[in-house]
Structure 1
Amino acid sequence: MSITEKIASYIDQKSELYKNLSDRIWDYAETRFDEVRSADLLCKTLENEGFQVERGVANLETGFIATFGSGNPVIAILGEYDALAGLSQQAGSANYAPIIQNGNGHGCGHNLLGVGALAGAIATKQYLEEHNLAGTVKYFGCPAEESGYGKSFLARDGYFNDVDVAFSWHPGTVNAIMHARANAVINATFKFKGRSSHAAASPHLGRSALDAVELMNVGVNYLREHIVDEARIHYAVTNTGGLAPNVVQAEAEVTYLIRAPKPNQVKDLYQRVLNCAKGAALMTETTVEEQIVGSCHNLIPNKTLEKVMHQHMQELGSAKITEDDIHFAKEIYHTLSDEEKNVAALQVGKEAAQILIDKPIVDFLAPLPEEPFFMGGSTDVADVSWNVPTAQCTTATWAFGTPFHTWQAVAQGKSAYALEATLLAGKAIACTAISAMENPTLIEDAKAELVKRLDGETYEALIPKDLVPPKAMEATAVIMA
């Protein structure tokens, strides 16, 4: 029996366990650093499967590392389980139907991601036991990927220093290897302090912090014309200073995500955004305090590992799809705008897109691209990829064209085809992990590629050395502010 057949058998035998775990984490829908029940569920499952679990690593209350085996090589498998605010949605519904208005939802499929990675880790452990192989498999429970960058804290504090190679995956609309680049990002808050006063009787005595926020945003919007093409800047006003228009707002706050292709570029761009904040404070005679609350590097692909993962995915084939799956996927597809459909069509080509209109679940594996494609967003997997060769895949857990971070993605989080695609990802991860453990030359070649791609650069975390991740309830307060 081949590696792919054995791994597939291991994972399929436990499919009901993985479905139950994924569905429960979907129900919990816990956001950044508040994934208390989700993390605990995964920890207990791994303990039951024979892993030694260390909780609270890197001062992450909902972070953990589960370890099985001993000696080299050391394989890391990365799991996530955080949801998104404001995306509550009923499972299995092709109509927008929040369970809780403004509640949380798994709009990026991390309920699937964490469980698929867990399936890969458990299957790797089973293979090691059955074949009496030396080596260590570590499942990294990584909280707050969406806006807290849990892996960046883990990388900063050296938790990947003894790892040889790392693997992960992500839910999506295609089956493919993620041979990709992504932006580095700095997440920062800017808190303005002014002086309150009666806005009509004595406006001259007030100093408006809200005016400062607005002026900063205007300044940054002008800045956009003068940054590198791939850079991105986004903001959200998280404190407007109150609800009374006849009171000059004495405090206000804005949060920024600042992205650029390289760490040095994002640091320079952050300084330029900070100058906009200082200028706004000067104009309004307010003060400003800034704080970097999270960050991650740009993603470094590793084609050496990706080729092996791609080969295993070819051998595994596509996930099982039923007529009921196709029917629901078509309902979801018809909720998308023409623009969303057209963008999706560009990813697969006109011919494939035409076929997918009637059967909008991708059941083929995309070719491995020669050159990395660029993702405008960011991922804290990047900090791992700077420290250790890292490979990722994506599988078709959602109907063709489904945008990330939408209610449509949440609605498909418990679908049968989402689970099948999740198991496929776990199989691909485990097969590639075993291939690396049985072939030291593969690991050596992957490490050599990483050195070449870094081209003399070394990892230095973008988050401050003294920054401590927020505790669970503190993080919830930030989200709800």
Structure 2
Amino acid sequence: MHGGGHHLRSRALSPEISRPARGRGARSPLPLGRRDTLAAALGAAFAAAGEARAQNSAAPARADPPLSAAAAARAVEVSRNAILRISREVWANAELGLAERRSSAIHLRELEAAGFRVASRGTSGVPTAFVAEWSQGSGGASIGFMPEYDALPGLGNAAEPRRAPGPTGAEVGHGCGHNMLGAGCTGGAIALKRMMEGAGTPGTVRVYGCAAEETEGAKVYMARDHLFERDDAVLAWHPAPVAGAGLARLNAVDKAKVIFRGRAAHAGFAPWEGRSALKAAEMFGIGVQMMREHVLPTARIHYIYEHAGVAPNVVPDFAQIWIVLRDLDRPKVEALTRWVRQIAAGAAAATQTEAEFVHFYGTHDLLPNEPLAQLMHRHLSAVPLEWTEEEQAFARACQREIGVREAGMATRPLPFLRDISAGGATDVGEVSYQAPVGVFAWPTLPLGIGLHTWPVTACGGMSIGDKASLNTARILAAASFDLMADPALREATRADFLRRRGDRSYTPALPDDRRRPLGLPAFMTRTGDDEVVAGMEGA
């Protein structure tokens, strides 16, 4: 573990730490439409930077579409049914991160049917992650795609412009649009294969099943195994209220659990016999507040108390805090993490309790890539943003329910965006230190509405979502074919990647002792041996 952290003991792994995992992905939506209000997701960063500008300014001049655009459209049309099956079935079977068994299987089913070989399941210690690949000829380029497919708690919704339970109720839903994101990425890979077969282009297409992006993203575990270093570029997109591409930066992040253990006692008769883990947690929180004045303005520190006792008349012997630390890059985040670790030790010493600092997850900042961003922008600009009156009415009804301006869906892309920064983070950042990464945003939700809300789920389950899945597959297939066919473009992409990374060699952000995600549900790891041991405990 980075910074000399402790290994988790068996007690800390069960109910105390594992209990909060179900809700770990939830985030409050942020308002859109202002340049300085940036949501955590990449798509929302593009949206916040330019939504109002895009809708209130003249449309950018439309260049002639790249030659590969028409071929990509034809290849996607051939794969249309498979792409829509992925999007619709994953939407109807929404699963939380690290438990996406059906969703992962849906992607693999369609990839295998399209001729891809499954190179690994349960990749890099994440049971619902995978890698599928297809190659043709000798040599050639290698392009990766990053589908995601995890959902969010509390955002289940029907494909209706109002709050209404979805196919599996309201408990889980695709409020970040990963059913569409995954369908577009996997569909783009399938379409690229068809284009390469038709043109006889040599190369390798890889699809990385990126489980649990909302919690402990599999990309980080895959990157630690150096899986992305073999690719010339790795591509993805993200749902947003707008279409856009540009030079976006997102922060590095560390996540930790801070656990305090004390001694229980009767709070009325003999409180002196106890040592309060809650008081230690409170002192830790005060210590974090005291450091805020002295951190860089770019730092973000936020935490919650996950466990803080069970009854007021019992001195709590257990408390747990979940803290997230972000800043511009890994060195800055690692400095914050060391400081917070010291605060935990000090709080324990002051309250005569024991502290355990469990650094369980981290990512690098996202490195943009200008040649790839320009490539994505050219291709997304070649795909019309066309909506039926029924779709615009659906969007306006969602806006009416939320209480924002009834502007409907975006009808033109943003200009190429430069120097976008945001306080949030993404596990794509880890990939961006191993290979050039290209990403873009595409409209899947009405203007003025944020990600991680029920309208995203609603739109993702109807024709707005279908169009997003198909159109993003077209954009990804066309852009990736250009990369496959143009060595000079790949060289420029690589040069930009090396320039931005500089002399910083890749060091995994994950702690050394973290072999699998902390929030992995027990049922995903149980074996027959577990049952035998359990049956012998009372013998």
CA shift for structure 1 position 472: 4.4
1:100-131, Cα deviation, whole Å (9 max, x unpaired): 78722212111111111011000001111111
Distance 1:223 1:397 in 2: 40
1:72-93, Cα deviation, whole Å (9 max, x unpaired): 3110111111112232333324
Bigger shift: residues 304-313 or 7-16: 7-16
Q: Match of 2:327?
A: 260
Q: How does 1:192-231 map to 2 (within 5 A)?
A: 192-231=260-299
Aligned to 1:441, what secondary structure does the other structure show? helix
Match of 2:479 among 424, 432, 435: 432
Q: Match of 2:469?
A: 422
Summarize the Cα distance change of 1:468–1:248 in structure 2 as closer, same or farther, 3 Å threshold: same
Aligned to 1:377, what secondary structure does the other structure show? strand
Matched, 1:156 2:230: no
CA contact (8 A) 1:393 1:425 kept: no
Bigger shift: residues 88-97 or 285-294: 88-97
Distance 1:191 1:59 in 2: 25
CA contact (8 A) 2:396 2:407 kept: yes
CA shift for structure 1 position 200: 1.0
Distance 2:142 2:463 in 1: 33
Q: Match of 1:245?
A: 312
Q: Which runs of 4+ in 1 moved over 4 A?
A: 96-102
Distance 1:74 1:45 in 2: 21
Matched, 1:441 2:441: no
Q: Match of 2:413?
A: 365
Q: Match of 1:277?
A: 344
Structure 1 counterpart of 2:380, one-letter code: M
Matched, 1:49 2:114: yes
Summarize the Cα distance change of 1:82–1:310 in structure 2 as closer, same or farther, 3 Å threshold: same
Distance 1:296 1:4 in 2: 34
CA shift for structure 1 position 99: 7.2
CA contact (8 A) 2:91 2:173 kept: yes
Match of 1:128 among 173, 193, 196: 196
Structure 1 counterpart of 2:515, one-letter code: V
Summarize the Cα distance change of 1:233–1:474 in structure 2 as closer, same or farther, 3 Å threshold: farther
TM-score with structure 1 setting the length: 0.90
Structure 1 counterpart of 2:186, one-letter code: L
Distance 1:331 1:202 in 2: 60
Bigger shift: residues 425-434 or 279-288: 279-288
Distance 1:232 1:394 in 2: 24
Distance 2:308 2:172 in 1: 23
Matched, 1:87 2:163: no
CA contact (8 A) 1:397 1:422 kept: no
Summarize the Cα distance change of 1:237–1:24 in structure 2 as closer, same or farther, 3 Å threshold: farther
Q: Match of 1:24?
A: 89
CA contact (8 A) 1:309 1:431 kept: no
Aligned to 2:372, what secondary structure does the other structure show? helix
Match of 1:294 among 337, 361, 372: 361
Q: Match of 2:135?
A: 69
**Number of positions where the alignment pairs a residue of Structure 1 with one of Structure 2:** 456
Q: Match of 1:4?
A: 69
Q: How does 1:366-445 map to 2 (within 5 A)?
A: 366-369=414-417, 371-445=418-492
**Identity of matched residues, %:** 33
Match of 1:167 among 235, 245, 258: 235
CA contact (8 A) 2:79 2:191 kept: no
Aligned to 2:149, what secondary structure does the other structure show? coil
